[in-house]
Structure 1
Amino acid sequence: MKKLINDPADVVAEALKGMAAAHPDLLRVDHEQRIVYRADAPVQGKVGLVSGGGSGHEPLHGGFVGPGMLDAACAGEVFTSPVPDQMMAATRGVDGGVGVLHIVKNYTGDVMNFEMAAEMAAAETGVEVVAVVTNDDVAVQDSLYTAGRRGVGGTVLVEKIAGAAADEGRDLAGVADVARRVNDGARSMGMALTSCTVPAAGRPTFDLGEDEIEIGIGIHGEPGRRRVPAAPAREVAEMIMEPILADLDFTGDDGVIAFVNGMGGTPLIELYVVYNEVATILAKAGVSVARSLVGPYITSLEMAGCSVTLLKVDDELLRLWDAPVKTPGLRWRA
């Protein structure tokens, strides 16, 4: 195992110290609870947005804390859910008096712990909490980690668009409705060229042969739909796009946000090769692209591979997508 770390047990704590040192204008970090807050939280009169999950997926979630996106993110150990006490503390810490939205990826531990935190926060502080669970992964219906589809790349789009809705002053029900609409209109599929190595484990999460790739992989190394021989980007894009386009009708006048995500170990030049293939497939399918996003935004440590997310949009969702955002991991018009 070759990694730029000190002690595997200290990776998350030291990474959070690095985030705080790198972005003091944007972030405030509770190192004891391992919570990343936007520097001005809580913002009075604004719905607070809290998300979180296991570390190792950076910039998700802590890199998306700031104006226009999340108010707080809870950091678990690598690929391990945060605990309810963290989530409850974050909920209290972002409560501006009008309620808090939890954005939760559909993994069993995350869902259970966020539910417990919401109940605890309501009982102890009276804050109103609504949860939206993301489940955009078309690769599987069920896995060892989920009941139903997993929350993957669509989570980034939910956090951005719901964050814009909260920043423009919508109430809790309105922000939650936007988040659900984004999740309902998003579909994702991923693939892996290589495994990744969790620092505490010191060995690859799974084995792939030199001439094998995994189609439909999860962000924690969960098995995909099938293992196939290595193939050119054109064929890989077709294998990813076919189940996405089969699952939802993306045709229409308003188009889609097309998001090609890197899993952590794939260079940007390759992601643009994949995006070119995705754009060609969409054009042939009669799907117009309204906006695009290309880069490593929800990663799996150093896994080589990519995922594609399509979001069916309308004028309102596009306006919220285009709204200013200022976070370490995503920034425009700010």
Structure 2
Amino acid sequence: MKKLINGVETVLRESLDGFCAAHSDIVVLGEDHKFVRRRALKPGKVALVSGGGSGHEPLHVGFVGHGMLDAACPGQVFTSPTPDQMLAAAEAVDQGAGVLYVVKNYEGDVMNFEMAAEMASGTVATVVTNDDVAVEASSFSTGRRGVAGTLVVEKVVGAAAEAGADLASCQALGERVNARTRSMGIALTSCTVPAAGTPTFSLAEDEMEMGVGIHGEPGRRRVKLMPAREIADEMVAAILGDFGADASGEALLLVNGFGGTPTMELYLMYDNARKLIERRGIRITRSLVGNYVTSLEMAGCSLTVTLLDEEIARHWDAPVHTAALRWGM
């Protein structure tokens, strides 16, 4: 295992120290490294809190700031944060309008956020993301997994909260964005969790995993490596097929790298996916390409399509200033 670390037991703590020092104008590190919060909290605003296992950076800490999250709770690599982290984060950022938890559909995350909500003294609501069309369930989840579509929910709802929407409206909007979002990923290589020291799974040089999860969970099947256009064709067919008759109008296309894929290849995948989607009558009017919901150093990518309406598009376009997303300010 070759990684830029001092020790397995300190990798997360030191990474958070570096992140908060590098972005000290935006974020503050919580006590005992339990969470990262916005430096400038907004009185009377609904607070958005998310989190999950580390190793997916910039998700979630990279999305803390104006127009997105108020706090994020990082667990150990690929391990859910604890309820006391989530409770501490909510208490630190609650500005009197309630707290909305945005939770990816993994059993540990859902269970721990539910426990934190039950312990909270203030008003708490939850949105669970489950945008992955690859498989209905995995060893990590009951039902579909929450993957890169979580970013879209956090951005859109974050903008609505920034504009003054109340807790019930933010929750309803988050559920609507999630319902209009589908994702699917593929892996060309595995990744190595520092504590394990060996790859999570193995792929031959001519193999790929179709429908992989962001923790390296198995997908639909293992297949021979294909040209990018054929990979994009299968991913787009699965995503649009899952939408069914609802797949029409304008859409956002997110091509997300898993950490080990060159940007050149991500843009190539965007080009192939965009052409395929627009050939089926959907207009791509918003886009995002890059490494946003990663799986350590895994080579591969995911495609996410969100069907837009006027409200969702307006909140996507709204100003945002975080470590990982910045526009309009």
Scaled by the length of structure 2, what TM-score is found? 0.98
TM-superposition CA deviations, 1:67-96 (whole Å, max 9, x none): 000000000000000000000001111111
Whether 1:164 aligns to 2:159 is yes
235, 238, 241: which one pairs with 1:240?
235
Is the 1:213–1:229 Cα contact (8 Å) retained in structure 2?
A: yes
Give SS of 1:170's match: coil
Amino acid at match of 1:218: G
Amino acid at match of 1:154: G
| Offset, 1:251 | 3.9
Amino acid at match of 1:60: L
Gaps of 5+ in 1: none
231, 256, 259: which one pairs with 1:261?
256
TM-superposition CA deviations, 1:256-314 (whole Å, max 9, x none): 00000000000100000100100110121111111000000000000000000000011
274, 279, 294: which one pairs with 2:269?
274
244, 248, 253: which one pairs with 1:252?
248
Is the 1:76–1:83 Cα contact (8 Å) retained in structure 2?
A: yes
Alignment of 1:172-187 (within 5 A): 172-187=167-182
Whether 1:30 aligns to 2:24 is no
Total equivalences in the alignment: 328
Is the 2:26–2:322 Cα contact (8 Å) retained in structure 1?
A: yes
TM-superposition CA deviations, 1:197-234 (whole Å, max 9, x none): 00111100001111100000000000010000011111
| Offset, 1:33 | 3.9
> RMSD of the alignment, in Å?
0.8
TM-superposition CA deviations, 1:104-142 (whole Å, max 9, x none): 000000000000000001xxx2x1000000000000111
Is the 2:55–2:77 Cα contact (8 Å) retained in structure 1?
A: yes
| Offset, 1:31 | 4.8
- CA separation of 1:206/1:247 partners in 2, compared to 1, >3 Å: closer, same or farther? same
Is the 2:34–2:88 Cα contact (8 Å) retained in structure 1?
A: no
Q: Which residue of structure 1 aligns with residue 15 of structure 2?
A: 15
Is the 1:107–1:146 Cα contact (8 Å) retained in structure 2?
A: yes
Q: Which residue of structure 2 aligns with residue 224 of structure 1?
A: 219
Amino acid at match of 2:320: V
Is the 1:13–1:34 Cα contact (8 Å) retained in structure 2?
A: no
Question: CA separation in 2, counterparts of 1:304 and 1:140?
Answer: 20
Give SS of 2:255's match: strand
Is the 1:68–1:167 Cα contact (8 Å) retained in structure 2?
A: yes
Whether 1:148 aligns to 2:143 is yes
Is the 1:251–1:288 Cα contact (8 Å) retained in structure 2?
A: no
Gaps of 5+ in 2: none
Question: CA separation in 2, counterparts of 1:119 and 1:202?
Answer: 36
Give SS of 2:28's match: strand
Whether 1:327 aligns to 2:326 is no
Which shows bigger deviation, 279-288 or 97-106? Answer: 279-288
Is the 2:16–2:33 Cα contact (8 Å) retained in structure 1?
A: no
Is the 1:215–1:239 Cα contact (8 Å) retained in structure 2?
A: no
Deviating 4+ runs (over 2 angstroms): 249-253
Amino acid at match of 1:266: T
Question: CA separation in 2, counterparts of 1:279 and 1:44?
Answer: 41
Q: Which residue of structure 1 aligns with residue 185 of structure 2?
A: 190
| Offset, 1:44 | 1.4
Is the 1:105–1:134 Cα contact (8 Å) retained in structure 2?
A: yes
Give SS of 2:169's match: helix
